[in-house]
Amino acid sequence: MAEILLFHHALGVTAGIEAFAGELRKAGHTVHVPDLFEGRAFGSIEEGMSYVQEIGFDAIIERGTQAAAAYPRDIVYAGFSLGVLPAQKLAQTREGGRGALFFYSCVPASSFGTDWPAELPVQIHGMDADPYFVDEGDIDAARGIVAAGNRAELFLYPGDAHYFADSSLASYDADAAALLTRRVLEFLRQLDR
């Protein structure tokens, strides 16, 4: 079974983030969900991103790095949207990771001063018409990582929702979220082989 460090999106640790972590725990995995916002929660992406801009993206990444220090290195790094930033940095720069899961977001590997580690398994999930994922270049960054990785997959789902796997939000797409969860669980099973 895998140990997973799961970073939340710009709304904070929502009930949907906790529910997703719960699904992974039901399958026998250990999941840690650090609160990068120190107890704050927001009602919209814009509100959450306003807070992030106040404290800085580097602060979010640093909070994620500090959270990771409490856990072993042979862990799976996962992130939803904003949470991909610390997850991706850790996956690329902290030796010993078992895998990475990026939901709704991805940045170029060069953002963290290294190439993508070719042997590190990674799954990237996003909707094919999500303006944040497609129009802001995340899909291109994801394709770059898939091209550089030997065990890298990009899954695109039909639709334009950003937080489509968060069951506590109006953007939730039950069918897409169920497929995403099945794919994630299979990814985690493969790590044990």
d(CA 52, CA 68): 20
Reduced to 3 states, what is the DSSP secondary structure of residue 153?
A: strand
The tally of CA atoms less than 13 A away on the side-chain side of residue 186 is 8
**pLDDT 10s digits, 79-97:** 999 999 999 999 999 999 9
Contacts of residue 151, Cβ cutoff 8 Å, sequence gap at least 6: 119, 120, 121, 122
**pLDDT 10s digits, 7-21:** 999 999 999 999 999
d(CA 23, CA 25): 5
Indicate if the pLDDT at residue 193 is higher than 90.
no
pTM: 0.97
What does the pLDDT average to over 149-166? 97
Indicate if the pLDDT at residue 32 is higher than 80.
yes
Q: Which neighbouring-strand residues pair with 109?
A: none
**pLDDT 10s digits, 96-132:** 999 999 999 999 999 999 999 999 999 999 999 999 9
Q: For residue 80, which amino acid is it? A: F
**pLDDT 10s digits, 61-78:** 999 999 999 999 999 999
CA end-to-end span of the chain: 10
Q: Which of 103, 93, 91 is nearest to 151 (CA)?
A: 91
Indicate if the pLDDT at residue 1 is higher than 80.
yes
Q: What is the CA radius of gyration of the chain?
A: 15
